[in-house]
């Protein structure tokens, strides 16, 4: 269960219910009197949905707002990425409040219940996905990043990559054709910090503390580490390949007794082979200065201890290297599909 919870992809749930308009005949939708009953729920601006539709389901919320998009408009931002199966775009703020579904509308009034934006969007950046009109993946991610802050923009990029939707390389190509657009400096800065190897938002946030708050070079992210005989020691979240410092983020699933035992064994293996180690848990990342001090303390220990280096990043012949995201997208023929200028 825990392993499934932390996967970067999710399936769109079945049984989503599409809102409908009032129908005087009561065939295509409820009559006005029926709409006032408990069997129907208003989603705003003259739309109604069967009351059995779960309003807390993020995909249901997206669908309920998507029907309000008229010709020439689209759903964009985090909602499109979630609609494509990116788990970490859950439609919630850091404080747990629901975010409004971002929509682009070229003309007309803006009804309540969604985050309406009036921006240009060409026909080549629109598509129908599972019955709703969406911005393309890269346009949606571009909108999500440019109307955000730097750290959130990096998280968005890396979680879209974790879900296999696009890569930082492709987004860099995409933004090269967006000269003068609102928010483009922020997106470009975020892309200099983003990669394709992070597997959770907290891993990305820890990496950003490492770079931005600790002032350290970009670490190695989620790469296998071996002993000198070619045995796998582990795949650390972050690694300083010069000093041999490992950084790990341990989420709530690490509190499980079996998982905690494995974590202790892993830390022991690292230390026995000359790797210094630090861990960040729970709400630690809310105190970035404290985490930065922990990182520098681990680096100081690594310098003082001067333990012989008995580890390597060189992959042994038996190791089956994972295909890069760019290679997967190229092999699947997705590159031309994703890049639509």
Mean pLDDT of 279-293: 94
Cβ-proximal residues to 222 (8 Å cutoff; 6+ apart), any chain: 197, 198, 199, 203, 235, 236, 237
| pLDDT tens by residue, 217-246 | 999 999 999 999 999 999 999 999 999 999
Q: What per-residue confidence (pLDDT) applies to 254?
A: 47
User: Where do runs of H (alpha helix) occur along the chain?
Assistant: 2-5, 32-35, 58-66, 77-83, 137-146, 150-162, 168-175, 184-193, 201-208, 257-272, 288-305, 325-331, 335-338
pLDDT value at residue 1: 39
What is the torsional sign of CA 303, 307, 308, 311? negative
- Domain range annotation of the chain: 13-53, 55-196+324-341, 202-312
Q: Which residue has the higher pLDDT, 253 or 298?
A: 298
Sheet holding 40-44, edge to edge: 20-21, 47-50, 40-44
* Strand-pair category, 126-129 with 225-227: unpaired
Residue 258's pLDDT band (boundaries 50, 70, 90)? low
pLDDT at 173 over 80: yes
Give the torsion through C-alpha atoms of 26, 30, 35, 37, to 10 deg: 70
Asked if residues 341 and 179 have their Cβ atoms less than 8 Å apart, the reply is no
- Per 3-state DSSP, the chain is made up of helix, strand and coil in percentages (nearest 5) of 40, 15, 45
Give the pLDDT band (50/70/90) at residue 181: very high
Residue with tokens 């974590």: 263
Model pTM? 0.91
Q: Render pLDDT for 70-79 as a digit per residue (tens, 0 to 9).
A: 667 899 999 9
Average pLDDT over residues 249-259: 66
Q: What average pLDDT does the chain have?
A: 90
Tokens 């729920």 belong to which residue? 41
Which residue's structure tokens are 């200028």? Answer: 341
Among 166, 227, 226, 168, which residue's Cα sits nearest to residue 192? 168
Bridge partners, residue 277, by sequence: 246
The residue-averaged pLDDT of 210-215 equals 98
DSSP code for 124 = G
pLDDT grade, residue 248 (50/70/90)? very high
Q: CB neighbours of 144 closer than 8 A, spacing ≥ 6?
A: 76, 77, 78, 81, 89, 102, 153, 156
Predicted pLDDT of residue 116 = 61
| The two structure tokens encoding residue 52 | 């059995």
pLDDT at 307: 73
Which of 57, 40, 58 lies closest to 49, judged by CA?
Answer: 40
Lowest model confidence (mean pLDDT) among 5-14, 165-174, 184-193: 5-14
- For the stretch 81-96, pLDDT in tens is 999 999 999 999 988 8
In the predicted model, is pLDDT for residue 304 greater than 70? yes
């Amino acid at each position: 269960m825990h392993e499934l919870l932390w996967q970067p992809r999710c399936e769109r749930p079945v049984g989503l219910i599409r809102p409908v308009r009032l129908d005087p005949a009561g065939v295509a939708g409820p009559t006005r009197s029926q709409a006032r009953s408990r069997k129907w729920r208003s989603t705003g601006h003259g739309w109604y949905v069967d009351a059995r539709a779960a309003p807390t389901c993020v995909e249901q919320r997206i669908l309920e707002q998507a029907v309000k998009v008229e010709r020439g408009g689209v759903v964009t931002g985090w909602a499109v990425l979630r609609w494509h199966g990116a788990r970490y775009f859950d439609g919630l703020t850091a404080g747990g409040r629901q975010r409004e579904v971002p929509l682009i509308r070229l003309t007309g009034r803006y009804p309540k219940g969604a985050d309406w934006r009036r921006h240009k969007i060409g026909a080549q950046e629109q598509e129908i996905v599972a019955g709703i009109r969406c911005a393309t993946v890269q346009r949606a991610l571009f909108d999500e990043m440019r109307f955000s802050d730097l750290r959130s923009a990096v998280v968005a990029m890396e979680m879209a990559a974790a879900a296999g939707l696009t890569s930082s390389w492709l987004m860099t190509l995409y933004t090269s054709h967006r000269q003068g657009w609102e928010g483009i400096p922020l997106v470009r800065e975020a892309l200099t910090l983003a990669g394709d190897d992070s597997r959770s938002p907290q891993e990305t946030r820890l990496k950003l503390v490492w770079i931005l708050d600790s002032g350290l070079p970009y670490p190695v992210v989620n790469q296998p580490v071996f002993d000198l005989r070619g045995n796998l020691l582990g795949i650390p979240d972050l690694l300083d390949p010069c000093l041999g410092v490992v950084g790990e983020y341990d989420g709530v699933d690490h509190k499980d007794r079996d998982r905690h035992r494995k974590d202790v064994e892993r830390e022991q293996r690292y230390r026995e082979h000359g790797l210094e180690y630090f861990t960040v848990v729970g709400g630690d990342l809310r105190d970035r200065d404290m985490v930065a001090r922990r990182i520098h303390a681990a680096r100081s220990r690594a310098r003082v201890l001067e333990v012989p280096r008995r580890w390597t990043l060189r992959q042994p012949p038996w190791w089956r290297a994972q295909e890069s995201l760019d290679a997967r997208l190229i092999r699947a023929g997705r590159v031309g599909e994703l890049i639509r200028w």
